[in-house]
Structure 1
Amino acid sequence: MKVVDVAVGVIKRDQEVYISKRSDALHQGGKWEFPGGKQEVNETPTQALIRELKEEIGIEVTQALDYMLIEHDYGDKRVRLHIQVVDSFEGEPAHLEGQISRWVHIAQLSDYEFPAANVEIVKKLQADYL
């Protein structure tokens, strides 16, 4: 089974991170996620993240720091998540593709339902920043 490489951005400002709700029509639809998207051929995870965040939420990333790597098998799909913390950017995040999105305090992330592959990100953020 093919592994899909995904660039994931934890957009962080003070003690809050920016999350959005996946469209019900998508894989893992209706759950919350950190913005990002699939890495294209000949693209590094950082290049993919910069492109995706500009397309999806309209920000210009000025700094992205490698945070963690997660490989997860959903049974019908395998993903490799390249997670980076983005705490330096220009513009104000706003979902350009119509999804519901919001800033959430790191302590409150546990109140939201994330895809299984994202649960470790929430745990690590809460361990590192609370």
Structure 2
Amino acid sequence: MKRVNVAVGIIINDQQQVLLAKRHAHLHQGDKWEFPGGKVEVNETVSQALIRELKEEVNLTVNTTEPFMVISHDYPDKQVLLQIHLVKDFTGTASGVEGQKIEWVNKTNLTSFDFPEANIPILKRLLARV
């Protein structure tokens, strides 16, 4: 089984809210909430991939990213390597470019959203920093 290399952005605005996106129903882990991002292409750094993906997915122009953590997770049907970066330096107004629902959420409310299993360690680490 091939491991999918994914750049994940924890986007935090000036009000200390985190941007979440809801996965389309037909996708792997569909109808669950996630931190935006996407696959890292060949010859791309995680930061480059994240900058590209966040422009394509949520229309944000990211200036810099900061490594946060790395998670390797095996689902029954897919293996993912999540390379998570914090994104605090960006411009633009977030929108669901691909028709996905997006929402700015206070960190303390994150636990009320349904996330893919692989995202649970991210939530734990983020909430430890509240």
TM-score by structure 2 length?
Answer: 0.97
Aligned partner of residue 69 in structure 2, secondary structure:
strand
Matched, 1:95 2:93: no
Moved segments of 4+, more than 2 Å: none
Matched, 1:7 2:7: yes
Q: How do 1:114-129 residues align onto structure 2 when only pairs under 5 Å count?
A: 114-128=115-129
| Equivalence for 2:106 | 105
Gaps of 5+ in 2: none
CA RMSD of aligned residues (A): 0.7
**Alignment deviations for residues 56-81 of structure 1 (CA, whole Å, 9 cap, x no partner):** 11111112000000000001100000
- What is the deviation of 1:20? 0.9
Matched, 1:85 2:86: yes
Count of residue correspondences: 129
TM-score by structure 1 length?
Answer: 0.97
Return 28-37 or 6-15, whichever deviates more. Answer: 6-15
| Equivalence for 2:44 | 43
In 2, Cα distance between equivalents of 1:26 and 1:35: 14
In 1, Cα distance between equivalents of 2:99 and 2:121: 26
In 2, Cα distance between equivalents of 1:121 and 1:39: 19
Return 8-17 or 26-35, whichever deviates more. Answer: 8-17
Q: Give the fraction of aligned pairs with identical amino acids, expressed as a percent.
A: 52
Gaps of 5+ in 1: none
In 2, Cα distance between equivalents of 1:4 and 1:60: 24
- What is the deviation of 1:15? 2.2
- What is the deviation of 1:6? 0.2
**Alignment deviations for residues 9-65 of structure 1 (CA, whole Å, 9 cap, x no partner):** 000013210001100000000100000000111111111000000111111111200
Letter in 1 for 2:115: F
Aligned partner of residue 56 in structure 1, secondary structure:
helix
